[in-house]
Each structure stands twice: as C-alpha cells, then as structure tokens.
Amino acid sequence: MERRNFIGAFATVAGTLATGQLAASEHKHNPSFDSKTGSLEADLVVAGGGLGGIATTLAALRNGLTVILTEETDWIGGQITSQGVPPDEHPWIETHGAPPSYRAFREGVRQYYKTYYPLTDAAKARTNLNPGDGAVSRICHEPRVALAVLQGMLAPFESTGKLTILTGFSPAKASKNNNTVNTLTFRHLSSDKSITLSAPLFVDATELGDLLPITGTAYQTGTESKAETGEWHAPEKGNTLNNQAFTMCFAIDYLPGENHVIEQPAEYPFWRNHIPPLTPAWSGKLLDLNYSSPSTLQPKALGFHPEGVATGDKLNLWNYRRIIHKNNFTKGFYPGDISLVNWPQNDYMLGNIVDVSPKEFTKHVNRAKQLSLSLLYWLQTEAPRPDGGKGWSGLRLRKDIMGTDDGLAKYPYVRESRRIKALFTVTEAHVGKEQSAANPAPKCNGGAVAFEDSVGIGYYHIDLHPSSAGDNYIDFPSVPFQIPLGALIPVATENLLPACKNIGTTHITNGCYRLHPVEWSIGEAVGCLAAFARQKKITPREIRENKVYLREFQDFIRAQGIETDWPAKP
C-alpha cells in the first residue's frame, strides 16, 4: 500500500461514504483571523483534541464545514497519545461496532508500521497486526505512531485551509447571550497570550468538560444516588466529589545486565507502605503484585516478568499493555519489548481533579506522578523475581515514548469528567446486562434498551476504577448499546455539544461509554450533527424533537457508514 493510503486513510474511506456531503461553496470562508481583535471565526469550534474531538473535526470537515480545533497539550489524540493508553475495545472491532473512520485510523496505524518499521516477514503478512501483542487490545502501539496517523488524517484539510489546529491552548472564558454561546476565549499555556474564537456551534471535547462551567451549561459530577437514578449499582447517597481514579502513565523497556534505577522518589516511603482506604477493602499494599479483582473484589495475585515469560496462571503485567513486541521486528532492532504502565498499582485514588482549583489539580497530578515513579522504583529495586531475588534494575524509563522530560504522560489518563445535564440520560436500566434485561422496554439488536434517536453504537463492560471517595472497583457486564441523540444535547444551552465522556450518562454508565471507540463514535455523531444543523439552519435540539428531521439525520449518517444499531448477532 502506498504512503498516501494510510496518511489519507480517512479521506479515502470517508470520501466514498459521504453521500450527504455538503458543498464547500455553501460556506462563506475558511477559518479566518481578525488581526485587529485577535480573533478567529469558523463554522465550528472544537475544544479538545482527544479522540472525540478528532472524530468530530473529521466528520464536520468531511461534510463541508470549516473547523478550529484546540488542544491543551502539544499532541492531539488524547487518551491514545498524550495520556498513553492503548485502545480498550470490544471483541467485534475489526469488522463493526465503530464508524469507518475509526477503523481507518486503526488500519493507518498498522500500515504505518508496515511502511516504516523493519517488521519480520511474518508480522508484515499479518492482516490484523498488533505491534505490541499486548493483551488489552488487538492493536497496542506507540503513542507517537497514533499521533502521526491522526495528523495525517487531518493534513489534507489543513492544506486546503478548512482546518486550523491550535495546540497549547486552554479554554478560559466565554461570552453568552441567554442560552447561546457567542465566543470562547482560549489562553496559551506557555506564552499566556489569548485568542477569541467564534462560531455558530461549539463542541466540548475536553478531558474534564471544561467548557461547561465557563458557558453556564448545566452539568453533573461524581456519583448520583440510587434514589436519583434507580440504578442497582448506585450508592444510597450521592457525592459530587466522588470520581474515578486517574493515572499518570509511563513506558519502560528492559535491558538485562544494565542498571537504570532512577533516584528514589521523594514520596516513595509513603507510597511503599500505602494501603488504599477503600470499601470493600483493597487486597493489601498498593505497591505489590496483588490487587482487588474488579468483578469479585477478592484479593487476586498478579505476575510480572519483563521478558514476557509466562507467570503461571497469573496475568503478567508486562504483557498486558505491551506496545512493542521485539519479536515482531527484525532481530536486534529492539533490545527488548516496550510496555506501557497503566496498572492497578498506579491508579491515583487520594484526590479528585474534577471541578477543583488549578492549585488542587496540580497538587494531585504531582502526587500521582510520585506514585507512578514510586511504582517504577519499586519494580527496579523490590519487586519479587522468580529466582527469589528482588528488583529488575534493567528496567528503563522511556522518556522518548511519552515525549516528556520526566517520562510520564503529558496529561493524566482521565476516566471521568463533568457530564452535561442532557435531554436524555443513559442509566444502568438501559445498558446494564441484568437491569436492562429486567426493563420491559424494547431492546436493540445488541440487547440494550432501544433508543429511537440512536446515532451510533458501542460496547464495553461497565468498568469503574476505585474512586476518590473510597469506592473499590465497580465492574459488571453491560450489553452492546446505542448512543442516543438526546444524551448529546444539553437541557438549555442551544449551540454547545459534548463529544466525549461528558455526555448525558451517569457515574455508572460512564463506565462503558468512556472508552476509545465509543468516544470516537460520539464525536463522529456530533460532527455530523453540526453539519446537518448548519445545512438545515436549525438547532440540534430541533433535530431530535422533530421526527422528520430526526429520520432524515439518521439517514444522513447511515449513508456515511455509521451504524445506528447492532447487527442481529453482534
């Protein structure tokens, strides 16, 4: 396959599918800059360059809109790049259950390795190449490769001037007239300069739902009570400060016989003896090869061997999120595998970073970094080895993989954010395997409650990590579900849409709507929604409330390959 096939994978695939594409001539300009006011204007402003923001941007561009995309870090891609998390996906991802653009991204990653890396003949011949052969995903790969592919997918639109990308910018304030957002002002985090962006529609694809408070958009945080939602797994009492743990990820490789032990982290004495204060109780010390089994909460032993050696019936953590498996590449190219560390042992549970001051946010992020470095130091010096010794001094922190001076991810891996108060909220009764089965409402093909206004599909089990208020894992089955349009529309704000884990879910159902392909699917629907609303000169709310518009919009997205229901047998 030629290079153009993967760097333009999205444009090629989507171009043949976008039968509802809008003509570029219908819009008056490319994103334009007013030098007098220091402002930019486009058809759509997308805040946040994670997977939801990327998918929104691509769908909007494909359908003729001009877009300004902002990102707080210097890497677009969110959880798959700047946060360092290989994709968590469902079993059917290779063939269905996500938009064509997401599968084009995945194929772009594979083709990037096949074009530029010295793969073995066997690896190059694998249709579904998994560069790291990690257990967590069918496509474990390096963050930089994901970044390169995403940049390639966007490059044609930057070249034509239809897209402007602003990295290093964080939302600071908004101007609003009643329920309509007029402008957003962004501050550059390094220079402290600001720029004001205007558009008919705005999208919040930030990791923490940062546009919601500054635009006065109603939102929810933390846990709802059982009385509020009727969910079987909800607590008796809600807590707006109770959010899932976040993680500062990092990458390591292993060089036997060498010494790469880092300086002992300042907080190592604390973390070395720390027992998470959870209910039900954690299995023991956090820095140990044991944890609470998510499904049973009983103590469960884990294995670790940095040469990928089997550890009996225990999961070898090294293999879990391995992003480079040296055996896939010509002999000697890699001295060892590279593994991404996003494990139970570096989930940070001692503080909340949602809806807190910048000072509080920084404090907890810094402590989370100390936890991750302490885990590395423990692995290097104290982790038990099969030969009875302690520590693997050859473990090397790969700062280059994460693109940072300290070797830790550019941004926390955030599992939970602010969530809009939406026209419709997805609860456990809609998607939880047991509670939805007890719900008499009609079901979609996947088994979840059917949504008449479905604009996409997804699947992941309901997976909530330990929380900042002391909950242990909440982990139980869901069923393949739909994404309802009503969950994408705020109760009041007319021209702001969410595009990631800030949609209308609960604390419980966020656990299955927050993963990579679902976030992309949400963004894809939002980008198409923005284009359709612009074409019809109506609001997203009107599209949902008018059945004629709704059916026309669903036809519009289906014509672009977007699935609104699962096949009869997922």
CA angle 255, 260, 261 (to 5 degrees): 135
Encode pLDDT of 120-159 as tens digits: 999 999 999 999 999 999 999 999 999 999 999 999 999 9
Structure tokens at 548: 């004629």
- Summarize the confidence of residues 333-357 as an average pLDDT: 97
Handedness of CA 22, 25, 28, 31 (dihedral sign): positive
User: How would residue 170 be classed by pLDDT, with cut points 50, 70 and 90?
Assistant: very high
Nearest residue to 557 (alpha-carbon basis) of 535, 539, 541: 535
Q: What is the pLDDT of residue 29?
A: 54
**Does residue 16 carry a pLDDT above 60?**
no
**Does residue 397 carry a pLDDT above 90?**
yes
The percent of residues above 70 in pLDDT, for the chain, comes to 94
Please tell me the distance from the alpha carbon of residue 21 to that of residue 14, in angstroms, as a whole number.
10
Q: What is the pLDDT of residue 33?
A: 62
Domain ranges of the chain: 3-220+417-558, 248-402
Nearest residue to 216 (alpha-carbon basis) of 418, 407, 387: 418
Asked if 260 contacts 394 with a C-beta cutoff of 8 angstroms, the reply is yes
Q: What is the pLDDT of residue 17?
A: 36
Q: What is the pLDDT of residue 143?
A: 98
Query: Which of 67-71, 97-101, 189-193, 556-560 has the weakest average pLDDT?
Result: 189-193
Kind plus residue range of the DSSP H or E element containing 362: helix 358-381
**Does residue 8 carry a pLDDT above 70?**
no
Burial grade of 542 (CB within 10 A; 0-12, 13-18, 19 or more):
middle
- Summarize the confidence of residues 327-340 as an average pLDDT: 98
User: How would residue 569 be classed by pLDDT, with cut points 50, 70 and 90?
Assistant: confident
Q: What is the pLDDT of residue 31?
A: 74
- Summarize the confidence of residues 203-215 as an average pLDDT: 98
Any idea which residue has 């009492």 for tokens? Answer: 237
Encode pLDDT of 281-319 as tens digits: 999 999 999 999 999 999 999 999 999 999 999 999 999
Which ranges of 382-513 does DSSP label H, i.e. alpha helix? 399-402, 428-431, 433-438, 510-513
CB-based contacts of 17, cutoff 8 Å, min separation 6: 100, 559, 560, 561
- Whole-model pTM above 0.75? yes
- Summarize the confidence of residues 9-24 as an average pLDDT: 37
**Paired strand residues for 355:** none
Please tell me the distance from the alpha carbon of residue 267 to that of residue 296, in angstroms, as a whole number.
31
User: How would residue 501 be classed by pLDDT, with cut points 50, 70 and 90?
Assistant: very high
Encode pLDDT of 521-540 as tens digits: 999 999 999 999 999 999 99
Encode pLDDT of 415-429 as tens digits: 999 999 999 999 999
Query: Which of 15-29, 71-85, 283-297, 470-484 has the weakest average pLDDT?
Result: 15-29
Just give the CATH number of 3-220+417-558.
3.50.50.60
User: How would residue 37 be classed by pLDDT, with cut points 50, 70 and 90?
Assistant: low
Kind plus residue range of the DSSP H or E element containing 173: strand 169-177
**Does residue 391 carry a pLDDT above 80?**
yes
Kind plus residue range of the DSSP H or E element containing 165: strand 163-167
Asked if 504 contacts 487 with a C-beta cutoff of 8 angstroms, the reply is yes
Q: What is the pLDDT of residue 11?
A: 41
Q: What is the pLDDT of residue 35?
A: 58
